[in-house]
Amino acid sequence: MDCKNCSSLNEKRQFSSGGELTRFIKRLRGYVENGKIVEFPAFTDLADVEDDGSWPDVIECQFGCPDCGTEFTLKVNSHSKKAPEWLPKKGRRR
């Protein structure tokens, strides 16, 4: 059964453009501000990722759903040919 809190984030995604990624990052900020997901300490803090695309070379942010325990990772590496990714992973409730 899908979690009503985070079901819209539970699909693996790859981003084909900077604009698509920027829109997703803005959406993530809203989810964090509303408490739908929480940010965990990670390599990069979401606050360090600017909306104008002037991002660090490597972004790795970690999040979790406070209701179902699903964990999420946002991975971006400007030195890699791999597209930026959003990766959900079913987790245990924290």
Number of domains in the chain: 1
52 inside domain: yes
The residue range of the domain holding 38 is: 12-89
Say whether 31 sits in a helix, a strand or coil. helix
CB 43 within 8 A of CB 58: yes
Chain segment 9-52, per-residue pLDDT in tens: 999 999 998 889 999 999 999 999 999 999 999 898 998 888 77
53 inside domain: yes
Distance CA 66, CA 43 (A): 21
6 inside domain: no
Q: pTM (2 decimals)?
A: 0.86
